[in-house]
Structure formats: C-alpha cells, structure tokens
C-alpha cells in the first residue's frame, strides 16, 4: 500500500528565513530518504511549484485555505511544519504531525497578556488535534510544558540538521572587511540582543559584520549608539540580508561567531558556524546551551567587561587547545538525513 505525506512548505514564500530553510532542507532530505511506496506532496505557493522537482506532487496554497481547508485523502499524513500556521486541518480527521519551533510570543513584551493567552489557547487546540507533536529542542519541549499539559500526547524531540554544504564554491562578497572580523547573522531585532556586541571591539582591531534583515530603525540606531560609546562605530558593517554564498564566506573567514540572542528555539546559525569549527560566543539563554553544548563559550552577563573577559579567555582557549576539530565533530550531531528519517518514522507510525 502506498503511503501519502503532505508537507506544509507555505513559509518558503519568505526566502532567507529560518522557516524557509527548514522546509527546504527537510523537503530535499525526505525525498532522499523515503521508501519507494511513499509519496510526497508539497503544499507551496505558486512560485515554489516544482521547487522539489517533478518526481513529487504539489498542492497550491491559497488564502482561501485558511477558511476552507483543501480536501486530502483521509489516510494521508499532513505535516504542519510551523506552530502558528494559518493553514491547519482542524476539521479533517487525517493523521497530523505538528512541529513546534518556539513559543517566543510568551516572552515578548510586544504582546499583550490577552494576546499571549489567545495564542497559547490556539496552540493548545492544534496540539490536541495532532497525532504527534515534534519539538526542535528539549528547551522548546520544556517551555511548552510550562503552559500546556500534553497529557498522554505522542511527542518527540527532533533536532534540525546543519545547512552547510562544504562542496559549494564560495566567492568573496562585495562587503569584505579590511582586516580580521567577528560575525553574527540573524534578524536584527531586540530579542537578538545584538546591541551588546560592539563592546567586544574594544582594545582590538576587529571589525564586526552584522548580517540580517531589519525592520526596526530604532534598534539599528541603538546598535550604532552602543558602538559610539565604545568609539568603534567605524568598524561596524551592516550587510542587510545575505545570500547563502556570502553567509558561508563570512562563516568560513571570521575570527569568531557571536550569538547573544535572548530567545532561540534552536539557533541554526550556531550549528552553521560550528560546522566551520569557529569559536562560538553565545548567550546562556533558552536553547543555546543545549545546541552549543561544551564546545561553545557563554556570556553569563551582558556587561561589557564581563563579555570582554569571556571573549578574550575564549579565544585563548580556542587557540591553545586547538578546539576547531572538536567543534566540527559536535556539528555532526545535526544532520538533515537523520532528521528526515525520524520524521518519516513518525509519519509511518501514525498513518
């Protein structure tokens, strides 16, 4: 009997986002790892039709599906790949997998108490409807358990894979620092805590390359203000959104990777930097100690002197202990083929 799986890749219409990359890498890996009797159908916007080739099927996303969900075979598995998706089979009885990446909305000052309660109630309904819930880290699982009772719900923790392809030819980007540089990449917003980083440029000649999209001009100005306080604003480089080529070049050539984020369900950029064996300087918040494990250095405080001490001692340890190979080995914990195999086992178990 053929087994049919529908994978919600609607978020791929927003390129260069974490959810887009999650869907892309999971999709290709599912194609590679599935059995002959397993059929994949990707739910995508019109511009992603045929993105995964002609040997799989596609279901075209429509805004009407928020109200009238498309009819799918009763025994076909639907994988909702994002906890806040508006395209969700609430009424259909087909087997359902729900992936939860984070519940950052519960920790956001921008959300009112009423809004947070509403969102957690919506997520609770989705969890009740799902046959299996997948969390992308132990941290996310434990965070959800603080607010929602899973009862006897079938759930699993499945790590994301590593997005780095070492076989790609990498060429230098247009914005190339004049000397050694530190690197960070993420959406540029207060929850990413990037404004604490310019203090690490004091008493050295490093540049700081900050990559990522920003819609918050006030926060960009705060980063620059902090750099001015330390008199290092001339060594800040804002790239804006970057291509995979440019990201790989910066990761490969940076002196160290910095990630002081306050809210991470997983922290994919950390794994990508890990794959290059780079010294990792991370926040000790949320999922980052789980992902960075014992191969990263952690900021326990964001006071400039404390951060500078961690940074300087970490670089010395990295060099004296030759930690690059250990860091690369740790990155192998995160493999998209293994991720796909674990998801396929879940699809089969609830089909």
In a domain, residue 169? The reply is no
Asked if residue 173 is part of any domain, the answer here is no
pLDDT in tens, 163-172: 888 888 999 9
Residue 345 and residue 313 share a domain: no
User: Is-contact 200 180, C-beta < 8 A?
Assistant: no
User: Is 210 found in the same domain as 154?
Assistant: no
Q: Are residues 18 and 153 in the same domain?
A: yes
* 204 and 299, same domain (yes or no): yes
- CATH number for position 200: 3.40.50.2000
Mean pLDDT to the nearest integer, 109-120: 87
Same domain, 219 and 308: yes
Q: Are residues 199 and 304 in the same domain?
A: yes
Tell me the residue range of the domain where 113 lies.
3-161+335-350
Evaluate whether residue 167 is within a structural domain.
Answer: no
| Sequence-ordered list of residues with C-beta below 8 angstroms from that of 154, at least 6 positions apart, any chain | 131, 132, 133, 350
Decide if 171 is inside a domain.
no
> Which of 175, 184, 170, 270 lies closest to 223, judged by CA?
184
pLDDT in tens, 236-294: 999 999 999 999 999 999 999 999 999 999 999 999 999 999 999 999 999 999 999 99
- Cβ 19 vs Cβ 25: under 8 Å: no
140 and 22: one domain?
yes
Instruction: Look at residue 1 in the predicted model and tell me its pLDDT.
Output: 63
| 172 belongs to a structural domain | no
Q: pLDDT (tens digit, 9 = 90+) per residue, 152-193?
A: 899 999 999 998 888 889 999 999 998 999 999 999 999 999
Is 40 inside a domain boundary? yes
**154 shares a domain with 7:** yes
Q: Same structural domain for residues 318 and 340?
A: no
Q: Are residues 111 and 205 in the same domain?
A: no
pLDDT of the residue at 17:
84
Model confidence at 97, in pLDDT bands (50, 70, 90)? very high
pLDDT digits (tens, 9 = 90+) for 14-54: 987 889 999 999 999 999 999 999 999 999 999 999 999 99
Q: What percent of the chain has pLDDT over 90?
A: 89
Is residue 186, in this structure, part of any structural domain at all?
A: yes
Is residue 109 domain-shared with residue 59, that is, in the same domain? Answer: yes
The per-residue pLDDT for range 228-237, each reduced to its tens digit, is 999 999 999 9
User: 17: Cβ–Cβ under 8 A, 6 or more apart, which residues?
Assistant: 11
22 neighbors 81 (Cβ within 8 angstroms): yes
**Residue 170 lies inside a defined structural domain of this protein:** no
* Average pLDDT taken over every residue of the chain: 95
* Domains contained in the chain, number: 2
Is 268 in the same domain as 325? yes
């Amino acid at each position: 009997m053929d087994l049919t799986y529908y994978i919600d890749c609607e978020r791929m219409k927003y390129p260069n986002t974490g959810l887009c990359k999650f869907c892309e890498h999971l999709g290709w890996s599912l194609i590679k790892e599935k059995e002959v009797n397993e059929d994949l159908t990707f739910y995508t916007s019109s511009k992603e039709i045929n993105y995964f080739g002609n040997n799989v099927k596609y279901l075209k996303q429509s805004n009407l599906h928020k109200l009238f969900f498309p009819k799918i075979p009763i025994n076909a598995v639907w994988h909702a790949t994002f906890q806040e998706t508006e395209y969700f089979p609430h009424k259909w009885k087909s087997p359902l997998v729900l992936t939860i990446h984070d519940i950052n909305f519960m920790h956001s000052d921008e959300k009112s108490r009423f809004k947070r309660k509403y969102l957690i109630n919506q997520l609770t309904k989705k969890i009740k409807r799902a046959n299996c819930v997948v969390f992308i880290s132990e941290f996310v699982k434990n965070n959800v358990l603080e607010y929602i009772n899973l009862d006897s719900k079938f759930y699993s923790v499945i790590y994301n894979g590593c997005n780095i392809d070492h076989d790609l030819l990498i060429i230098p980007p247009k914005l190339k620092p004049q000397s050694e540089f530190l690197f960070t990449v993420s959406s540029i917003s207060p929850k990413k805590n990037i404004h604490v980083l310019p203090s690490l440029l004091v008493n050295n000649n490093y540049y700081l390359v900050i990559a990522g999209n920003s819609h918050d001009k006030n926060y960009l100005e705060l980063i620059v203000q902090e750099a001015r306080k330390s008199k290092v604003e001339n060594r800040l480089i804002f790239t804006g959104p970057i291509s995979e080529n440019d990201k790989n070049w910066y990761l490969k050539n940076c002196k160290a990777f910095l990630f002081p984020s306050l809210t991470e369900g997983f922290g994919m950029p950390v794994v990508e930097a890990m794959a290059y064996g780079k010294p990792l300087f991370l926040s000790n918040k949320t999922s980052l100690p789980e992902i960075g494990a014992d191969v990263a250095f952690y900021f326990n405080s964001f006071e400039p002197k404390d951060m500078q001490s961690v940074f300087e001692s970490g670089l010395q340890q990295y060099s004296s202990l030759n930690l690059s190979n250990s860091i690369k080995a740790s990155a192998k914990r995160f493999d998209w083929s293994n991720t796909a195999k674990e998801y396929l086992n879940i699809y089969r178990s609830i089909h």
